[in-house]
Amino acid sequence: MALLTSAGIVVKLVLMLLLFFSVVSWAIILFKLFQVHRANSASVRFMDFFWKSKRFDAIASQIDRFTSSPLTVLFNEGYGELKKVVDSDGKSEGSALSTDLGGIENVSRALRRATNSEITRLEKYLTFLATTGSTSPFIGLFGTVWGIMTAFEGIGKTGSASLAVVAPGIAEALIATAIGLVAAIPAVMAYNHFQHKIRVLVKEMDSFSTEFLNIVQRNISGK
């Protein structure tokens, strides 16, 4: 604390900026841990319920039990589009969801839109973690370089290069690099962790979309 309070104004500004990055990064990390954990847990429970249910309308009536799962968004969008197509083509001859009428393609597009929307939601704020991880060490290095310049300027003014004169200034300068690393390392680790978890969720959403369309096609074809 004595080194921090005795630091120059530029180094103090650098440290304040790094502190801001660190605090916000940890807030995002805690939020994302909670969000991703809930999404994974709810997705497991939803898929178990989905395969045990026999009808889409029965699933839709219980969908509020799994609101944290991104798969429920896909189901709502797909089922909603399915009902629109059935309602609009119900009086036409033949299958209401014939691929010739574009029904299946409409449902597929709805599922893709929902998937993209959920990916965007899950990846929200991760850019800040990436920015913190890539820039904080350089911001800290800037503070260190500035502090060392100030220390050498002091040496020039005093005309002494003894350890007692040099060490405090160098130690003060190196704090900026240390704080930069303290801010960057957790951000990088968390970013990589969440990217992996989100990739798993994306694969689950892609698989669910495929299964949803397969079920619709099998029912329409009577198989």
Residue with tokens 């798993």: 200
For residue 49, count other CB atoms closer than 10 A to its CB: 15
- Residue extents of the structural domains in the chain: 2-221
For residue 216, what pLDDT band results from cuts at 50, 70 and 90?
confident
Instruction: Please report the pLDDT score of residue 159 as a whole number.
Output: 67
Inform me whether the pLDDT recorded for 65 exceeds 50.
yes
DSSP letter for each residue of the chain:
-HHHHTS-HHHHHHHHHHHHHHHHHHHHHHHHHHHHHHHHHHHHHHHHHHHH-S-HHHHHHTGGGGTT-HHHHHHHHHHHHHHHHHHHHTTSSS-TT-GGGTHHHHHHHHHHHHHHHHHHHHTTTHHHHHHHHHHHHHHHHHHHHHHHHHHHHHHHHHT---HHHHHHHHHHHHHHHHHHHHHHHHHHHHHHHHHHHHHHHHHHHHHHHHHHHHHHHHHHHT-
DSSP letter for each residue of 158-174:
HT---HHHHHHHHHHHH
Measured between alpha carbons, how far is 21 from 133 in angstroms, rounded to an integer? 9
For residue 1, what pLDDT band results from cuts at 50, 70 and 90?
low
Inform me whether the pLDDT recorded for 138 exceeds 80.
yes
Higher pLDDT, 163 or 55: 55
* Short-list 97, 111, 177, 96, CA closest to 144: 177
8 near 140, Cβ under 8 Å? no
Instruction: Give per-residue pLDDT as tens, 72-130.
Output: 999 999 998 888 877 765 545 444 445 444 578 888 899 999 999 999 999 999 999 99
Full-model pTM: 0.81
Mean pLDDT for all residues in the chain = 84
Which residues, 6+ apart, have CB-to-CB distance to 195 below 8 Å?
126
Measured between alpha carbons, how far is 156 from 57 in angstroms, rounded to an integer? 81
